[in-house]
Amino acid sequence: MITLFHNPRCGKSREGLVLIEQSGKAFKVVKYLENPPNFEELTTLITKLQQKPIALVRQKERIWIEHFKGKTLMDVDVIKALVAHPILIERPIIIEGNKAIIGRPIEKIIRFLS
């Protein structure tokens, strides 16, 4: 089953949801701002993404700019920031089994689903 980390207010996230719906595959939606992942869940997700935690950060968000930009942060610090401020989590994120992607650009989702 596919899991979509989704923010309904985000156009790219809504586009990702449509693509998943059109794929005909079973899926569930996690509205991560309403049900934020904890430290362990984010660590597992980052492992599935096969990227550094910083890849998950929306670095243009005001919270990031005001509190974290320009600081030397270890991976654990970035994960803690994402747990404390889930608005910083990039979206959409699509997870299936042991694989995950950040669905930007949207073509990544198309490739992931095929």
Distance CA 62, CA 106 (A): 24
Residue with tokens 């089953």: 1
Distance CA 29, CA 21 (A): 11
Q: Of 2, 10, 87, 106, which is the active-site residue?
A: 10
- Residue 10 known to be catalytic: yes
Two tokens, residue 104: 């930007």
| Residues involved in catalysis | 10
